[in-house]
Amino acid sequence: MRHPRSRRYVRVGIRAAHPRRGHGRFAILHGVDNASASPSSESTSHPDPAALASAERAFGRATGAEPIGGNAVRLLLDADGNYPAWLAAIEQAQRYVLFESYIIDDDEVGRRFAAALVARARAGLRVCVICDWLGSFGAGALWATLREGGVDVRVFNVPKLTSPLGWLARDHRKTIVVDGQVGYVSGLCVSAKWQGDPQRALEPWRDTGVELRGPAVAVLVHAFAEVWRACGGPSLPADVDAPSGVGQATAEPAGQVRVRVVEGAPSATGTYRLDLAIAGLARQHLWLTDAYFVGTAAYVQALAAAARDGVDVRLLVPGASDIPVVAAISRAGYRPLLEAGVRVFEWNGTMLHAKTAVADGVWARVGSTNLNLASWMGNYELDVAIEDAAFAEQMATQYEIDLQHATEVVLTRRNRVRRSGGRLHPHDARRALSGSAGRAAAGAVSVGSTLGAALTNRRTLGAAEAGLVAQIGLVVVGLAVIAALWPKAVAWPLAVLAGWIGLATLGRAWGLRHRHRRARAAASRDARESAPDGAGASADGGDNKN
């Protein structure tokens, strides 16, 4: 089965990969004076302490995360590597389990994890679960099973009449913490989709996670506690460690690895600043894997600038996505990357869901953040940035293995982005039945950008965007026809939406005013109660005299 847009792309055999040029650290991050030094000269370079301290401050400001040493990190691949490790940690828990996942499906995998969590709750442990309302939609029976088994379950961001657009923010994190000693951060959710389906010839999804031990686990607890409070209700119980910051991390050192736990939250841009910073700091190579790439203009320009500066920039994305519209939007953005020298590869398997980066042989990122606006600015996300040569080597080796199962996308002699006429692997044409409002929102931003470019001629549109522009035009014409023939069909929904937003805004204003009055009254009452009795009597006497 040919992809409907396959005629626009050329799939070529993978060219020989550039050798990884040594394992030197980021030139700026580690104070190397000559950023263009050869690998051999880098090995003898001596970091400038002042430059190193300055770079550390800049990186800390960009990410909002401080480095934490003394950790052990283990790379976990796909469902076969992650699920057994998660279950083993849950079964060995002695105090508590914190479990947060965007998707917890009511299927064989979801029920297996539910049984493990219920078993620990019935053994007297504190078990807290956060699942996203949209991502886990339809799993109400599983939530009930967990609650009946003694698990404390909170569902993030259930739609409310008082917040018409609030449902767009999602909890996209995938984090597990056991006893404050071991944590897991990944791109995997809890669903049988990640295991594939041999009966339907569906291969397991390709995804990546990490196991983390050491002081940084305390920051994972803190991140979980923030979303727990955002769901409503009391804070985490006192028997669960919820440190307010890195300084209160209590776990004993477990290794020598330095990590940063980068927390993304709605309206915050920590993960976005992280990705921009790495694009600017990488000096040798930057290899990215992403499931739903819809880069902003600033990020695309940062990658292009790095490639033009001689950095080996590669982007590995799905060839067949579970959300085809996002894949189409992603392909529409290949041209500026390819023209700048960025190498783009499409995964040949069923679905590539990993969100990773590896740079310069010493730095890597693993987590839940996709390279799009929904993840960068709209969702709760969590990534671990790992500064360790051995771990980065593992990541780079796995990246090269992944490229053996991918096909490179190139520009033709006519400077067009094309794919060859060869048939895709049968698995490539299959689509999983799932979606995400967050990713759809990111796609909408890209569609808006393309539409604006088409109407204003303020940037050059590539051939790959012609189909997208045509689809937008057809939709707009269709809406115009509906409005002309059935005006009420357009007017009534708009009136209802406007009224809903207006009433919700008035309700919020009243709530803010009411809370402010209550706060003032409470402050006044506290002031009277804390005043000495004599002062109170004197004040009363003064009032009587007047």
pLDDT (0 to 100) of residue 173: 97
The Cα 318–Cα 285 span in angstroms is 21
Provide the percentage of residues in the chain whose pLDDT is more than 70: 74
Looking at residue 510, its pLDDT comes to 79
Q: State yes or no: pLDDT of 371 exceeds 60.
A: yes
CA distances from 370 to 69, 145, 382, 492, 517 (A): 26, 31, 11, 36, 42
Answer whether 447's CB lies under 8 Å from 401's CB. no
Structure letter (DSSP) for residue 74: E
How high is the pLDDT of residue 427? Answer: 42
Q: Indicate if the alpha-carbon torsion angle 323, 326, 332, 334 is positive or negative.
A: negative
**Predicted local distance difference test score (pLDDT) of residue 127:** 97
CB of 219 closer than 8 Å to CB of 109: no
Q: CA-CA distance, 97 to 181, in Å (whole number)?
A: 11
Note whether 382 and 370 are within 8 A (CB): no
Place of tokens 């897991």: 184
CA distance 210 to 216: 13
CB atoms within 10 A of CB 534: 8
Cβ-based neighbours of 290, under 8 Å, separated by 6 or more: 315, 316, 317, 354, 355, 370, 371
CA 376, 378, 383, 385 dihedral sign is: positive
State yes or no: pLDDT of 210 exceeds 60: yes
Give the residue-averaged pLDDT of 104-108: 96
pLDDT winner (highest mean) among 351-355, 435-439, 509-513:
351-355
- For residues 206-230, give the mean pLDDT: 96
Express each pLDDT in 25-83 by its tens digit: 454 454 434 333 333 334 444 556 776 677 677 778 888 889 999 999 999 999 999 99
Phi-psi region of 115 (alpha: psi -120 to 50; beta: other; left: phi over 0): alpha
Confidence of residue 321 (pLDDT cuts 50, 70, 90): confident
The dihedral sign for the CA sequence 245, 271, 224, 217:
negative
The answer to which of 131-135, 154-158, 212-216, 409-413 has the lowest mean pLDDT is 409-413
3-state helix, strand, coil in the chain (%, to 5): 45, 20, 35
pLDDT of residue 473: 77
Q: Which stretch of 240-244, 270-274, 429-433, 519-523 has the lowest confidence by average pLDDT?
A: 429-433
Q: What average pLDDT does the segment 374-394 reach? A: 94
| Residue bearing tokens 């990658």 | 303
Q: Which of 25-29, 276-280, 351-355, 413-417 has the lowest mean pLDDT?
A: 25-29
Q: Name the strand (E) or helix (H) holding 115.
A: helix 108-122
pLDDT of residue 514: 77
pLDDT at 40: 37
Average the pLDDT over each of 150-164, 179-193, 218-232, 454-468 and give the range with the smallest value. 454-468
Q: What is the pLDDT of residue 26?
A: 53
Say which residues have a Cβ less than 8 Å from residue 35's Cβ, sequence separation at least 6: 27, 28, 283
Q: So what's the pLDDT on residue 48?
A: 63
Beta strand residue intervals within 133-276, DSSP E: 152-156, 174-178, 182-186, 208-213, 257-264
* CB-CB contact of 424 with 319 (8 Å): yes
Alpha-carbon separation of residue 186 from 207, 366, 544 (angstroms)? 8, 6, 69
For the chain, what is the mean pLDDT? 80
Pick from 283, 220, 209, 224: nearest CA to 251: 220
pLDDT at 416: 57
Best CA proximity match to 420, nearest among 8, 38, 14, 90: 8
Instruction: Taking residues 386-390, report their average pLDDT.
Output: 95
Outline where DSSP puts E strands in 322-476.
343-347, 356-359, 363-367, 381-387, 406-411, 417-418
pLDDT of residue 238: 75
pLDDT attached to residue 465: 58
- Count CB-CB contacts under 10 A for residue 443: 23
pLDDT at residue 247 above 50?
A: no
The residue among 55, 54, 27, 32 whose CA lies nearest residue 45 is 32
C-alpha 126/C-alpha 143 separation (Å) is 16
More confident residue, 188 or 510: 188
Considering only the top CATH level, what class is 64-410? alpha beta
Residue 238, amino acid:
A
Residue 480, burial from CB neighbour count under 10 angstroms (0-12, 13-18, 19+): exposed
pLDDT tier, 242 (very low <50, low <70, confident <90, very high otherwise) = low
How far apart are the C-alpha atoms of 104 and 283, rounded to whole Å? 39
Q: Kindly report, residue by residue over 172-201, the tens digit of the pLDDT.
A: 999 999 999 999 999 999 999 999 988 888
- Model pLDDT for residues 322-336, shown as the tens digit of each residue: 777 777 888 888 999
Q: Would you kindly state where each structural domain of the chain is located, as residue ranges?
A: 20-62, 64-410, 493-518
* pLDDT tier, 445 (very low <50, low <70, confident <90, very high otherwise): very low
Percent of the chain whose pLDDT exceeds 90: 49
Q: What pLDDT is recorded for position 434?
A: 42
Instruction: Tell me the C-alpha to C-alpha distance, in Å, between residue 421 and each of 202, 385, 403.
Output: 23, 40, 21
As a whole number of angstroms, the distance between CA 542 and CA 279 comes to 69
Residue 421: DSSP 8-state:
S
* Band (160; pLDDT cuts 50, 70, 90): confident
